[in-house]
Structure 1
Amino acid sequence: MHLADHPARHRLSTALSNLAVTFRGMTAHPDENNCECHWGSAEELSLLKTPDVELEPDLLRRTWQATDWTDHAAVLRRILPQFAPVLVAGRADPLFGLEEAGYSFARGRWQEWPDHGAGSVREFLHAWWEDSLTDPDAVVPAHQVFVMCAEASGSVGPWLAEWEKQTGYLSDQRLAEAAAEWEYELLGDSLPWSVGWYEHDKEEMRADLVAWLLGHAAVRLRESGASAELQHRIRLLGLADEDRWTDPHWPGHRY
C-alpha cells in the first residue's frame, strides 16, 4: 500500500475537509473586542468578523491563545478551518506545549455545540489521534497529540481506548516514546502536562493515565521489547512513597 493510501491519513484529510465546510462563513461576534495593547489592532479584529479571510500566522496564534474573548466559541469556529491544518502540520507554535491548543478548544465548549459542529470537531480530533499512532509520516509526536486531545475533551479515556485498538509496531513505538516522556513527572505524582481549564480534573486524569500504564501499557511495553529500564520506571508507578524511591530500580529523580 502506498503511503498516500494510508487509511488514517485519508480519514484525517476527510475530517479536515469536513471542518472547512462545516465552519465556512463563520465570524466572531459583531461586538467582540480585545485589547489593542495585548492582542492586536482594530484592523486585525475586523478580520475575525470577516468570513473566510485567512489570517497570517502570528495573528492566528494570538487569536487561539487569547483567553479573554467574550464569545470564545464564535472565535474558535471562525478560525477552525485554518487552525486545524496548522495543528496537524506542527505549525501552531505554542509557548509551552500543545496542551495550550487543547485549552482553546475547551474554552470554546465545542462539545456543547449543535451536533453537526460538535461532530465535526470530534471526528477531527479522533482522526488526528489515529493518524499520529499509525502514520509513519505524522508530523506531530503522538504524545503531544494525546495531550492536545485530552485537554480539548477533558478526559484521557477516549484516547487511551483508541490506543488499545491500535496494536501495530508503530503504535507500540509511539507508546514507548510517550512513556519515556511522561515517566519523570508521573513518578513525582504529577500529570506530565499543565491543565489549563478549570473544569478539568487533573488528579482524575493522572490516576486514569497511571492505571492504564500499569495495566494495558505495561504488557505492551514488555511484549514489544521496550527497554528494561523503561519497564521498571512504569512498574514503579504502582508503588507509593518510600517503597517507590527505595526500590533498587529508582532512577534517582529529584523534584
Structure 2
Amino acid sequence: MSGKPVPGRAGDRGQDSDAELDLDLRHRTWSTSDWKDHGAVLRRILPQLATALVSGHVQPLFGMREVGYSFSRGLWQQWPTHQSAAVWEFLHAWWAHTLSQPAPVVPVHEVLALCTEASATLGPWLHTWEALDHRVADQHLAAAAARWEYDLLGDRLPWDSMDDAEARCAELASWLARHAPARLRGQDVPEELLHRIRLTGLNGPARWEDPHRPDCRY
C-alpha cells in the first residue's frame, strides 16, 4: 500500500517511501486536511500508521474518529483493487482482534468509530460483533452500551460523524436494542442499563412515556 511521497509540502524532507516518520511528523501527515492528493499521502504513511494504530501509539485530540476521517479523505475505496482490499483486510482484522482482547490498547468504541468513518458504513462492523459469540465480546458490548445509552436516548450518534449521522444513530440504536439484551443478561450489568438499551429501540411516546425512562434532560 505504500506510495511515493508527495513533494512540495512542509514536512517532506526528502525521505524515501520506506523512511520511518517520527510520531509528530506522522501525526501532522495524516491529520492535515488540505493535501492536494490526500490519497497519495495516506498510501505513503499507511504501513507505519497501521502499525502505530494497532500498538496504541496514535492518540488524536478528539478521538479515533479523526483517523477515520483521514482514511475517508484519502478515498481509499477508489484505489486499485489490491490496495483497497488490503485496507479492508487491515480494518476488519484489527476490529476482530480488538473485540477478542479483554483489554485492547484502543477501546472498542473508538475502533468502531474509526472503522465506521473510514468506510462510510456501520453495518459490517456490527455484523462482525454480532457473530463473535464469546464472553469478551459481550463484556465490550456492556461497556459500549453504558457509554452510548445517554447519546442514543437523545437521538445522537455517540461520536461526531462526517455524514449520515442521523441514519447511523438509528442503525446503532436499533442494533443495540435488538441484539444486546440477550447477550448482556448473562453479564453482571445493572437492570437499569438493560431498560435503557430497550428504550433506544423505541420512538416517540413509547420511549418518553415508559416508566423506566431516565429522568434526564437530553
Normalised-by-shorter TM-score class: over 0.9
Deviations 1:168-219 (A, max 9, x none): 00000001111111111111101000013xxx31122111111111112222
Residue pairs, 1:3-82, within 5 angstroms: 22-23=1-2, 26-30=3-7, 32-33=8-9, 42=10, 44-47=11-14, 50-82=16-48
Partner of 1:214 in structure 2? 177
Output the amino acid matched with 2:165: K
* Secondary structure of the corresponding residue to residue 58 of structure 2: coil
Equivalent of 2:74 in 79, 88, 108: 108
Partner of 1:154 in structure 2? 120
Cα distance in 2 for residues equivalent to 1:173 and 1:235: 18
Question: Residue 156 of structure 2 contacts residue 169 of structure 2 at CA under 8 Å; is this kept in 1?
Answer: yes
Q: Structure 1 stretches (4+) deviating beyond 4 angstroms?
A: none
Q: What is the CA-CA distance between 1:66 and the residue it aligns to? A: 0.8
Q: What is the CA-CA distance between 1:138 and the residue it aligns to? A: 2.3
Q: What is the CA-CA distance between 1:223 and the residue it aligns to? A: 4.0
Cα distance in 1 for residues equivalent to 2:110 and 2:216: 23
* Secondary structure of the corresponding residue to residue 12 of structure 2: helix
Question: Residue 186 of structure 1 contacts residue 237 of structure 1 at CA under 8 Å; is this kept in 2?
Answer: yes
Equivalent of 1:239 in 189, 196, 202: 202
Q: What is the CA-CA distance between 1:121 and the residue it aligns to? A: 0.7
Q: What is the CA-CA distance between 1:53 and the residue it aligns to? A: 1.3
**Structure 2: stretches of 5+ with no match in the other structure:** none
For the aligned residue pairs, the C-alpha RMSD in angstroms reads 1.7
**TM, length-normalised to structure 2:** 0.93
Question: Residue 153 of structure 2 contacts residue 200 of structure 2 at CA under 8 Å; is this kept in 1?
Answer: yes
**Structure 1: stretches of 5+ with no match in the other structure:** 1-21, 34-41
Number of equivalences: 218
Cα distance in 2 for residues equivalent to 1:138 and 1:83: 17
Q: What is the CA-CA distance between 1:225 and the residue it aligns to? A: 4.6
